[in-house]
Structures are given as C-alpha cells and as structure tokens.
C-alpha cells in the first residue's frame, strides 16, 4: 500500500508560472471532466469538427469547431470571428455553463479577474496533428486573457515570446491541465508539437483543446 500511495503523488506544482503573465494550472479541469465531455458531445452534434482552410490554401491538420456568441474561422478570405457556422449557416451553439464557469475560474486563479469569454474554439488533435507557432491576435481587445484547456492525450505545449524567432519553452500538458495567459504574455507566440499516438481512457486516440477568448 505504501508504494501505491507514493506513486500517486504528483511532484509537479499545481500552479506553475511559465512566463510573466502566463500560468499553468495542473489538473484544474479534472473535477469537471465528465460534465465537460458531455457538453462537448452536445456541441459537436450540432457543429461537427471540420478541417478548415488557411488563407494560403493549406488544410489544417487540426480539426475545429466552436461554441459561444462567435466562432473563429479561416478560409481563403482570411482569419476572423463570425457569429455563423459556415458549414450549417446557423449560429454556433451557445457556450454551456460548465465551460464558461471553468474558463472564468481558471482566469481568476491565474490573476485575471472579470474574464467573460464570448468564444470557445474547440480543436481536435489526432496523432501527428500539430499547431505551428502563432499569436492569437484576431480579437478586438487584447486586455482579456486566453484560457486553454487540455483534454485527452498528452501534448507538448510550446510557449515563446513576442517574436516568432524567440525560442519557446516546452511544457508537457496532460488531461485536465489549463494554461492561462494575458498581460505581458497576451501576444506571445505559442503552438503544439506533433501529437504522439496513445489511448486516453475517456477520449481515445485524440486530444481536445478548448481555447476561451473575448473576441469582441
């Protein structure tokens, strides 16, 4: 029994500053995992995952959906937020209370009070999928933070500086981990390394990332 108890101890800090204005909250979403997954399934039944096209004509390896008042979209016309799902011609599904509550609590824990996201990007990574270094800069107001929730397979999160050439730090993210950044880090370049294969007991061979933003 003693060995089992010892192995259950997680040596990683629950609240880990990773840059000025950026905090990693280990396991912050675990208490809500069942409700989050149920809410996600309902959203995706209405707005299924799709692989969007970049303005340059590249098909993204990450499949995407959205919920909230607006959703992030990309096509030949550019990157933008839109209240209408281009695939269905209907508004994006509303943001469930369990998602909104998680985002608000995580932002507050990271030092960002009064966060009221109106968009939640839902990204699906399968083995081999990745997200290159980029800035989140399509929002109208950069005073609000970004809150990113990891579910499913573990991933390597890359968090850099204000320039693409800045060497990023690499952080292992596991199911239930949350990263929040704003202030001095709001426009930091960040990305996700190619996802390794595996099997998550609740979500299978995939990683789901929820990114909450105040778009308008």
66 has binding-site annotation: no
Centroid of chain to Cα 82: 18
Question: What backbone torsions phi and psi does residue 194 show, to the nearest 5 degrees?
Answer: -50, 130
Known binder of ligand: residue 208? yes
The response to whether 134 counts as a known ligand-binding position is yes
114 known member of a binding site: no
User: Does the annotation list 213 as a binding residue?
Assistant: yes
Tell me: is residue 92 an annotated ligand-binding position: no
156: enclosing H helix or E strand: strand 155-159
List all residues 6 or more positions away from 163 whose beta carbon is below 8 Å from its beta carbon. Answer: 189
Partners of 17 in the beta sheet? Answer: 23
36 in a labelled binding site? no
Q: Known binder of ligand: residue 170?
A: no
Question: Does 146 show up as a binding residue in the annotation?
Answer: no
Question: Residue 41 annotated as binding?
Answer: no
211 appears as a binding residue in the annotation: yes
Q: Residue 43, annotated ligand binder? A: no
Between CA 36 and CA 30 the distance in angstroms is: 9
* Residue 123 known to bind ligand: yes
Task: Please give the Cα distance from 107 to 77 (Å, whole number).
Answer: 32
Query: Per the annotation, does 81 bind a ligand?
Result: yes
Residue 136 marked as a ligand binder? yes
To the question of whether residue 200 is assigned a binding role by annotation, the answer is no
Helix, coil or strand: residue 68: strand
Q: Residues marked as binding for Fe cation?
A: 134, 136, 190
Q: Residues marked as binding for substrate?
A: 72, 79-81, 138, 164
Q: Residues marked as binding for 2-oxoglutarate?
A: 123-125, 207-213
Q: Residues marked as binding?
A: 72, 79-81, 123-125, 134, 136, 138, 164, 190, 207-213
């Amino acid at each position: 029994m003693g060995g089992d108890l010892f192995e259950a101890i997680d040596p990683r800090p629950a609240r880990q500053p990773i840059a000025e204005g950026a905090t990693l909250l280990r396991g912050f979403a675990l208490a809500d995992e069942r409700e989050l997954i149920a809410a996600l399934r309902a959203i995706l039944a209405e707005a299924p995952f799709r692989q969007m096209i970049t303005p340059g004509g590249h098909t993204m390896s990450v499949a995407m959906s959205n919920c909230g008042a607006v959703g992030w979209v990309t096509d030949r016309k550019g990157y933008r937020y839109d209240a209408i799902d281009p695939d269905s011609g209907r508004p994006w599904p509303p943001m469930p209370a369990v998602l909104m509550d998680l985002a608000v609590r995580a932002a507050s824990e990271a030092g960002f009070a009064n966060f009221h996201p109106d968009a939640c990007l839902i990204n699906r990574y399968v083995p081999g999928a990745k997200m290159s270094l980029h800035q989140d800069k399509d929002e109208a107001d950069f005073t609000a933070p970004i809150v990113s929730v990891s579910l499913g397979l573990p991933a390597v999160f890359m968090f850099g500086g204000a320039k693409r050439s800045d060497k990023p730090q690499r952080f292992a993210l596991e199911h239930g981990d949350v990263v929040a950044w704003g202030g001095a880090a709001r426009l930091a370049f960040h990305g996700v390394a190619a996802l390794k294969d595996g099997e998550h007991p609740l979500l299978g061979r995939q990683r789901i990332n929820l990114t909450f933003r105040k778009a308008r």
